[in-house]
Amino acid sequence: MTIFKSHNLLGYAENGYELPSYEKQMDGKIANQETFNKAWDMLKQEYKGDYQVMAMKLQGIRLDFENARMSNGESLFDYLTRLLAWVSQMKMHGGDLLNKIMVEKLYISLTPTYVTIVSFIEGTKKISEIDPTESTTTPKGFEQR
């Protein structure tokens, strides 16, 4: 609404606007709409449908994220890359992941090699206070040794 107002376009959305013929060809979904208002309504409807598809995709990505475990022989860098890719995909599909959940996921899904270092970290700080970036620094240093 604010964007339309700032560009003096609110009247077009509310009252309609006759689309020139070349603009009607831009998108097959709105090509048959006679006014800007009808095209806008069609796009809103399409987005709502996409919301359901996005929600289903998000659910699948979350499931993959929750079931992820670090494989024996997998480097910490590769595992973190996989986790962060899922986090990025979740954000693209409208999901949000709390830092605490990201840190917990990382710590519970590492291989047994990291148990000692994770126990040390958990003993010195509250998980809710650990930044995801910080949560990877100590295990990376451990891995490099």
Which tens digits make up the pLDDT trace of 59-98? 999 999 999 999 998 988 888 889 888 988 888 877 887 8
pLDDT at residue 69 in the model: 93
Q: How far apart are CA 137 and CA 123, in angstroms?
A: 16
36 burial via Cβ count (<10 Å: 0-12, 13-18, 19+) = buried
Place of tokens 């959940």: 101
Helix or strand or coil: residue 44?
A: helix
Q: How far apart are CA 118 and CA 110, in angstroms?
A: 9
Q: Is the pTM of this model over 0.85?
A: no
Which tens digits make up the pLDDT trace of 86-133? 988 888 877 887 888 888 888 888 888 888 877 777 777 777 777 777
